[in-house]
Amino acid sequence: MSMSLPRTPSFRLDGKKALVVGASSGIGFASAVALAEAGAAVSVAARQSPKLDEAAKSINGAGFSADAIALDITNVESVSETIASKGPFDILVNSAGLAIHGPAVDTNFRDFDAVFSINVRGAYFLLQAVAKGLISRAMSGSLMTISSQMAHVGGIDRAVYSGTKHAIEGITKSMAIEWGKLGIRVNTICPTFIRTPLTEQTFSNPDRVKWISEKIKLGRVGEVEDIMAAVVYLASDASAMVTGTALRVDGGWTAE
């Protein structure tokens, strides 16, 4: 008599609506592509720009489904209204973020406020807005923030940035606890240094490259493709029991 086999949960996202913020380039764009490939109808969102429309057009041109939404997450009132009118979204990936690096003794108020405004305040109320749309319709969902390995360690010149990412981990855990019984999962993805247009400045600094290559145990920097499967996993039923946690895609940076 043969044993009945357990079935691997589906990674497919057919029939799901996804919102990807910060989707006009880099990790955000790659996340949108990954979700679209898995069958989701994806709204790509960022501040209005030709690149945002290009992103949607490219995804549609490949035979998938995407539309573009102009969204500035520092304007929390506008974000709340837009998501209420365009949602509900089964899936959120927030890849919007700002980094202004420098010695802690040199941090000025303006830079501190700018980074916290996007990375913490904007992220918080974006999560809230998407969750409200789901709760009002008694829908389950998967919400994720692209955080950073710096949510778990410190780094030279990164006191402000690391502080914002540590904050997102606390927000994520608390929201996961509050919304768990409603079937809304909340997680972060914590990449190491990923090669994108935004990180080219770091990679052009020999001292930083030496630091990075010593810390990443797999011996290479990350590519956006390294994040894509993590996004699909957390968005799908494959991760149905995963909430309030950080998925580290960091090449072993935080292992020590």
Q: Which of 161, 181, 210, 217 is catalytic?
A: 161
Per DSSP, 8 falls in state: P
CA 214 to chain centre: 26
Residue tagged 């949607």 (tokens): 56
Which is catalytic among the residues 165, 181, 215, 233? Answer: 165
CA distance 249 to 189: 7
| Residues in contact with 221: Cβ distance below 8 Å, sequence separation at least 6, in sequence order | 192, 193, 194, 195, 203, 212, 251
Roughly what angle, to the nearest 10 degrees, separates helices 123-136 and 159-179?
10
Catalytic site includes residue 161:
yes
Position 140: which residue type? S
Alpha carbon distance 96, 164 (integer Å): 13
Query: Which residues belong to the active site?
Result: 161, 165
